Amino acid sequence: MDIVYISDLEIETIIGIYDWERQQRQIVSIDLEMGWDIAAAAASEDIAQALDYKAVAKSLIDFVAASQYLLVETLAEAIASRVMQDFGVPWLRLRLGKPGAVTGSRDVGVIIERGTR
């Protein structure tokens, strides 16, 4: 299985459990690796055979920006489900970071894998 990826996609959203977090948009950072067989696209140079990472990114930007989850865990699961269902991705690894959430750290968050390789 090959991997198509999106790295450090930053999106503003409402995320968090504290009252101030429910009132103020924060940035989340997404690294997404998606299992995909690129052989057909490489052989034909036909974009229809490729995983359209621009469409994936646009979908994530729209979805995450409109979301209002309490936990990064819940947002990560929602992103994974959306990508797998909407784009037919059989496997993915997602890192969802919340920069500035812990003083002294660059970011905190979760890494999940879903599907089969």
Active site residues: 98
Contact 31, 83 (CB under 8 A): no
* Whole-angstrom distance, CA of residue 8 vs CA of residue 28: 9
Rounded to the nearest 10 degrees, what angle do helices 72-87 and 53-66 cross at? 140
Contact 111, 53 (CB under 8 A): no
